Amino acid sequence: MTVERSQPVHAPMTPFETADGELVVGGMPLSRLAARVGRTPFYAYDRHLLAQRVAKLRSVLPPTVKLHYAMKANPMPALVCHMAGLVDGIDVASGGELKVALDAGTDPREISFAGPGKSREELRQAVAAGILINIESFREIDELASLSQKLSLPARVAVRVNPDFELKSSGMKMGGGPKQFGIDAEHVPDALTEIGRQGLAFEGFHLFAGSQNLKAEAIVDAQCKAYALARRLAERAPAPVRFLNLGGGFGIPYFPGEQRLDLASIGANLAALSQQASTEMPGAELVIELGRYLVGEAGIYVTRVVDRKISRGQLFLVVDGGLHHHLSASGNFGQVIRKNYPVTIGNRMGATKKEIATIVGPLCTPLDLLADRMELAHAEPGDLVVIFQSGAYGASASPQGFLGHPAVVEVLV
């Protein structure tokens, strides 16, 4: 029927099982889950897979290293509650996220707040809550000094350092060179003097070099450099280091040919650094903060086929969801070259009749593309298209108001 050549295929998405021709999500066949949710499109996050992921990570991390969830990756309140019971702390990046983390019952001592341009109101919320604030500018030091005085509570602070190195092979660089994040390493000694002079409660350093990295050697290299830099800076600190947040950046495979991150070497390196810290910075706890790696693979986006049409020999499946719910899958959230996310027809898992289809959403823009010429099971209107690897940077990272379609539903199953 079509002469189009399909795009290369993905590795199988192993965490979800199949039974009787359907994907199984949260212990039930996908079509039943869709009926339970009541409408499409929706995101489903599997709590069992989330717990499994944390357990697997803990099995390779030394017990001395604390694991934080960076909730920017998925701020759904029920999911944050679930994660709060699994990890050691939550990292927030706004006053709104702080509220969700506190509502989830997270111990304020284990919440940290990073992000450029924190407003005075957000800083006041943070001081009053008693959480750790990662300072990113000299203005924040002054604001916090005045707020500490007003609230009679010394602000708990760490310095977010913009390092003098970059995270190699990172999908998104967030440290090194000129950046809006953190204080440049060469100015940190002055910031530390100021923090001491203003009477803030200094507790440590935060270094976050980048995101979506699949190369263990690059992550190991960045963590070693972050540790060495923090150790050097600690000599200028007004108080001993209690927390040393080495960032994260652990990636997950999205595209054909991508390999899973090798955790063993990262775990071994963190064990070595932790050992070193126990003598060089006694009392300092090493922390890593992960978003995508913890939640990305536990979530799917489900959208229903509305129309099936052929244009000049190319088959289009038009679905009821699109880039307004899932900007990342459309390739418009930071990707340089658009590639297909792993996609399947979730209610026709065993189908032998295949075809090459392009999946598009209902928005009146050619950017609303969810799968470009992929080989999929033959699908008809009513069938359920599933996009895997959708647990991170999905609903909250998409322009839901664009074109006035209904908001997406999210369920934790």
Q: Residues interacting with ligand PLP, by CB under 6 A?
A: 70, 72-73, 91, 93, 114, 208, 211-212, 248-249, 289-293, 392
Burial class for 64, CB neighbours closer than 10 Å (0-12, 13-18, 19+): middle
Minimum CB–partner distance for residue 216 and ligand PLP (Å)? 15
Measured from the CB atom, the residue of 92 and 155 that comes closer to ligand PLP is 92
Going from the C-alpha of 132 to that of each of 80, 90, 124, the distances in angstroms are 18, 11, 12
Minimum CB–partner distance for residue 64 and ligand PLP (Å)? 20
Minimum CB–partner distance for residue 122 and ligand PLP (Å)? 15
Q: Where are the beta strands (DSSP E) in 275-406?
A: 285-290, 299-311, 314-319, 343-345, 354-360, 369-377, 384-387
Measured from the CB atom, the residue of 45 and 359 that comes closer to ligand PLP is 45
Minimum CB–partner distance for residue 344 and ligand PLP (Å)? 24
**Pairing between β-strand 384-387 and β-strand 299-311 as defined by DSSP bridges:** antiparallel
Measured from the CB atom, the residue of 165 and 293 that comes closer to ligand PLP is 293
CA distance 323 to 318: 13
Contact 265, 272 (CB under 8 A): no
Minimum CB–partner distance for residue 134 and ligand PLP (Å)? 7
Going from the C-alpha of 45 to that of each of 92, 385, 410, the distances in angstroms are 20, 16, 8
Angle CA(180)–CA(183)–CA(187) in degrees, nearest 5?
Answer: 135
- DSSP labels, 66-77: EEEEEGGG---H
Minimum CB–partner distance for residue 376 and ligand PLP (Å)? 28
Which amino acid appears at position 90 of this protein?
I
Contact 123, 144 (CB under 8 A): yes
Q: Residue 361, SS3?
A: coil
Contact 294, 10 (CB under 8 A): no
Measured from the CB atom, the residue of 87 and 319 that comes closer to ligand PLP is 87
Residue nearest to ligand PLP (CB): 291
Minimum CB–partner distance for residue 195 and ligand PLP (Å)? 19
Measured from the CB atom, the residue of 156 and 292 that comes closer to ligand PLP is 292
Measured from the CB atom, the residue of 204 and 248 that comes closer to ligand PLP is 248
Measured from the CB atom, the residue of 300 and 379 that comes closer to ligand PLP is 300
Minimum CB–partner distance for residue 263 and ligand PLP (Å)? 14
Measured from the CB atom, the residue of 91 and 410 that comes closer to ligand PLP is 91
Tell me how far the alpha carbon of residue 63 is from its chain's centroid: 22
**Residue of 186, 281, 184 lying closest to 239 (CA atoms):** 281
In DSSP terms, 25 is beta-bridged to 28
Measured from the CB atom, the residue of 296 and 346 that comes closer to ligand PLP is 296
Minimum CB–partner distance for residue 129 and ligand PLP (Å)? 18
Angle CA(114)–CA(52)–CA(384) in degrees, nearest 5?
Answer: 95
**Dihedral of alpha carbons 109, 140, 166, 280, sign:** negative
Measured from the CB atom, the residue of 396 and 400 that comes closer to ligand PLP is 396
Measured from the CB atom, the residue of 175 and 346 that comes closer to ligand PLP is 175
Going from the C-alpha of 120 to that of each of 131, 149, 185, 300, the distances in angstroms are 15, 14, 24, 37
Minimum CB–partner distance for residue 301 and ligand PLP (Å)? 17
**Dihedral of alpha carbons 336, 338, 342, 347, sign:** positive
Minimum CB–partner distance for residue 328 and ligand PLP (Å)? 11
